[in-house]
Amino acid sequence: MPKVEFALLADYARSDAGVVHIMGAGIDTITAPVVPTAQPVNLVVQLSFGSDEQPGTEHQLQVIFNGEDAQLASVRARFFVPPQPPGIPVHWRTKVILVLGLNLPIPRYGDYSLDVVIDDEPPISLDLRAIQPTEAQGSAPA
């Protein structure tokens, strides 16, 4: 079974030959001058697979974006267990990094969550909030 090593939101992320380049990582607050809006983010998920996993086995990934009282968006994808690189120890877990560009719908200020679900297992949940900018952040007084 794939194991989620970590999941985070970032302003920018790119996966390149097994290395992920991330800028603005760990987003948990979206500052929006007006709502409704949409916020572009990158979801970075690192998965690992044990040596007992059969290469080519299919798994399901679902990303669910929830508001305080409703599901706002959902994305489904499938992925496959990669072959284990030659010459690594039997106990070594093969890692895969997924980078997904998302445009999160923000209908109002408040609390949100982004759930990452693999094969209907309990989700990894990332909490978010949307807030108005303060005067210290440069917003004009009303």
pLDDT digits (tens, 9 = 90+) for 102-121: 999 999 999 999 999 999 89
Burial class (CB in 10 A: 0-12, 13-18, 19+), 68: exposed
Confidence of residue 134 (pLDDT cuts 50, 70, 90): confident
Confidence of residue 142 (pLDDT cuts 50, 70, 90): very low
Please give the pLDDT value at position 141: 44
| Matching residue, tokens 């877990």 | 93
Confidence of residue 89 (pLDDT cuts 50, 70, 90): confident
Please give the pLDDT value at position 91: 85
